[in-house]
Homo-oligomer: A and B are copies of this chain.
Amino acid sequence: MELLLLDEFQIIFNNYLDRRLKEISCEKEFNDLLGYTPQSGGKRLRPYIIYLLSNALGLPQAVYMELGLGVELFHSGSLIQDDLPSLDNDDFRRGRPSLHKYCGEGSAMLIADYLMLYPGKIFLALPLSAKAILNLLKLWYEASLQVIEGEFFDVNIKAKKMEEIEKVHRLKTASLFGFCFSAPFVCAERFLEAFEMNKAGIDFGRAFQIFDDIKDKLGKSETLGKTPGKDEAQNRPSILKHMKVEDAKGYAERLYSKALEKIKQNEVRKALITVRELIEEH
């Protein structure tokens, strides 16, 4: 079968997500809130990358959909937290009220905890060898802990020198893309390639963050799904403090190309070139 395009994959992934969320065994009231943010849309870029590479490696759907599910739940949990008044204080996310506006801050925080812890349980249950699962979980803890550390520096770094900004991006955004790029190789027990692909994913994630900062500066509320110009107004670490938009764009494009060069599978590289246009559009 030909590789699915991102918008085709989104439909399949969203159906899968709906079904799997219902299977999480907890009380109905809690379960409804668990789905509020993950089911509110989003590009599903991280699960899509996992799908592309897994497909090229011949991994079964039961593996790559679960990997994508875990990453997307964690990502949703981290967005719920980001929106809280003590962090970014954003009342809207993907065009809907943020979770804490819907159910209160305390409950939103606990839902975020659950979504960030749950992926470990998902990955543990994958139909893989013990060796693959243990290596996957090791990779997962590195990435997920780095996301939290990155959010901490995002809030607390004062000087915002170029290298500090890049450190925040690497920890907060790029580490999760590093996981998406290398997890399929770990599941396929191709551990040496996994290591190289992690680096490719980090370059990809750095590029993604710069494109995102450019969108925040130039974007409109409708396409952004959140308040434009907010990151800048809140003095969040953005590379645009040190570079003109055009230069930043060129820098991100070079990082993106560098990431793609490491991908040996032609069809995956092609799909990710198409994805770049979607990431860049504003």
Contact = CB atoms under 8 A, between A and B. Distances in A.
Contact of A137 (B106, B109, B118, B120): B120
Interface string A106-131: 11011101101110110010000011
A121 B106 contact: no
A86 B106 contact: yes
B114 A87 contact: no
Interface size class of A (residues with CB under 8 A): 35 or more
B110 A137 contact: no
As for how many copies of this chain the complex holds, the number is: 2
Chain A: interface secondary structure?
helix
A151 B156 CA distance: 28
Interface stretch (A24-32, A36-44, A52-60): A24-32
Contacts of A149: 26-27, 30, 114
A33 B106 CA distance: 22
22 contacts: A26-B145, A27-B149, A30-B149, A30-B152, A81-B109, A84-B106, A86-B104, A86-B105, A106-B155, A110-B148, A110-B151, A110-B152, A113-B113, A114-B149, A114-B152, A117-B117, A117-B148, A120-B141, A121-B145, A124-B137, A124-B141, A130-B130
